[in-house]
Amino acid sequence: MTDKQSFHGEVRSNLNKLKPNNIYLFDDPNYRKDLVDVLRSLRRSGSLCDVTIRHGKRKVACHRIILGSGSPYFRALFVESESGKFVKNVDITEDIDCQSLDATIDYLYGGTIYLTPLNTVGVLRAACLFKLQALADECSFALSKYLSSENCLQVKDIALLYGQKKLYARSWRFICKNFPEVSRSGQFLEQNEQRMEEILSCDDVHATEEQIFDALVRWTNFDRKERGVHFAKLLRFIRLPLMNNKLLVQNVETEELVQRSPSAKEMVMEAMRYNMADSVTRATLRSPRTMARTWSKMVDVIMLVGGRGSSPYESRTTICYEPRENTWYSLAPVPTVLYDHSVASADGLVFSCGGSVEGRSSLLLQKDVFVFDPQYNQWSSVASMKEERAQFAAGGHDGLLYAIGGMMNGPKWNAVEVYNPVSDRWAFLPKPAIPRSNHTLVTTETHLYVIGGDGHEIEPVISVERYDPSSDTWSFVLPMSCGKVGACAVLLNDRILVFGGSNGYHTMKQCEAYDIGRHQWKPIADMTEFRQNAQAVAVDGNAYVIGGRDFYGKRYLDTIERYNPSNDQWTVVSEIPIHKKGFQCIAIKISKDHLQPFIKNTKKPS
């Protein structure tokens, strides 16, 4: 064949299927691995190296073409700079430890790295310096997994320094939720005055005011000579009026640091006067120090997301049910009308994924993802899924969000994706054996269980498949008593409770429970109504089933019934205040400050 000749044909990588008019693609599976091994060996032996990284007194011989190919930092230094070809030595800051630097250089040579609780901070520093965004994202996620009361304050500072916003938010939430343990750590005692003010003034700290006061005393006594002058200023951020007078007299007033500060003593007296005042007088004494922190106002609610109402405004309306008070409230509306979508909780946030909209001749599948932050009662958008899908199942597990199956554009409906909230990226995972839509999903501490659904056969799917994230594998468990499409399920007391659904002929009200430890299915009490495509959540040890369609699958139900596992009984507890179909439910904790009494209004206010 001459240089001007070319050959056009189908490309095949299987030699056994090669035909005369095909092009054969030979892909040596060992070549890349062998190449990486050779390159790393050459670096370690110093062979063919043409640039030296100087790290303090250490010198690390490397290859310019490898560093420049893998790192934008080195590429700018060697290629884009006018004097790049003369650069023979590169100085690296000693803020990066030797082991982390060596591991990161090794990553540039082969794309693999071992991250541990000991080296991840250093690798993150190196990744940010060398502008390795993918590695920095992985370090951020690893650090979020390694968070502990001993390192969370350092991780927060590192995240702020290197612009890792989601790692910063996650570490800050960890500090607030675990403040009593964090305040006993060595890192807490090393915080400066400004950082102490940031922590003590935070409305989200999960601790009593007595615990916060004790933490301030420990911090001050750690270096009383230098920190004693800051004690009274920082005491202003502790809400002393929320402590009862007995604690104020016995624990606060007698503290030596308080006795030595006239302004601190005055704050204690102010708190006592507030506690002794009647309600009218208290109203005149209100101040930031008399306002309860957010954690003490948190309540469990069942959030209804999306669905179709009688108007676009009603469709976007988000309402929630507070079971203890049997009351309905409003939350921030969703950004757009959502239908056939799926909702799940991960990393303390609520995610609404995918769905469908009506096109001119068919449904148009969606892949958009919206996230609700209960801390701020706000919706925002994040990275879209890789596949458009509807009538699928989503679930959160170990800080990650999973999307499984559903209606998709193509013949196979069993694609699985996982979303990392820290890196804001989706990735594909191994597929289950059976394609499913309109199925349900339950997550446990160790596995994800995919239950029932429409498997494109004559009857609904009876099987249950289980995904193990640790081994990245799927397996079957004992099937249900019958196939079910449009069932709902929750995890309660180490049992998976499956409610209703359709057996392919009519809607069911029968329920059954799978004992995870014993690997057994057992029937439980029937619901009071026949339901398919209902929603189920667990709150305070009870299961709640919301909405769904009736026996014939035509009428949408507005009732909510509660299942009590202790006596195996169902009770109708409430009715949804607006008629919507296709909504999704999730149980969350949210501050009472964000809950507004629900007032039905089908017209968008001007």
pLDDT per residue as tens digits for the range 268-297 = 999 999 999 988 888 888 888 899 999 889
Rounded Cα distance, 401 and 345, in Å: 8
Rounded Cα distance, 536 and 498, in Å: 9
CATH number, domain with residue 199: 1.25.40.420
Task: Among 231, 265, 292, identify where a domain stops.
Answer: 292
pLDDT-derived band at 76 (thresholds 50, 70, 90) equals very high
Same domain, 337 and 352: yes
Classify the C-alpha dihedral 410-416-419-423 as positive or negative. negative
Over residues 523-539, the mean pLDDT reads 97
448 backbone dihedrals φ, ψ, rounded to 5°: -120, 130
Whether pLDDT at 1 is above 50: no
Same domain, 266 and 300: no
CA-angle at 444, arms to 439 and 445, nearest 5°? 150
Same domain, 273 and 350: no
pLDDT-derived band at 360 (thresholds 50, 70, 90) equals low
Whether pLDDT at 404 is above 60: yes
Task: Among 111, 130, 146, identify where a domain stops.
Answer: 146
Rounded Cα distance, 408 and 437, in Å: 9
CATH number, domain with residue 132: 3.30.710.10
Over residues 20-32, the mean pLDDT reads 83
Same domain, 91 and 38: yes
Determine the 3-state secondary structure of 231 from DSSP. Answer: helix
Whether pLDDT at 181 is above 70: yes
**Per-residue model confidence (pLDDT) at position 23:** 84
What average pLDDT is seen over the chain? 92
Task: Among 292, 322, 346, identify where a domain stops.
Answer: 292
pLDDT-derived band at 3 (thresholds 50, 70, 90) equals very low
| Tens-place pLDDT, residues 322-332 | 999 999 999 99
Over residues 95-105, the mean pLDDT reads 95
Burial 321-335 (b: 16+ CB within 10 A, else e): bbbeeeebbbbbebe
Q: Domain of 553?
A: 295-597
CA-angle at 389, arms to 383 and 393, nearest 5°? 90
Question: Is residue 4, in this structure, part of any structural domain at all?
Answer: no
Number of domains present in the structure of the chain: 3
**Per-residue model confidence (pLDDT) at position 81:** 77
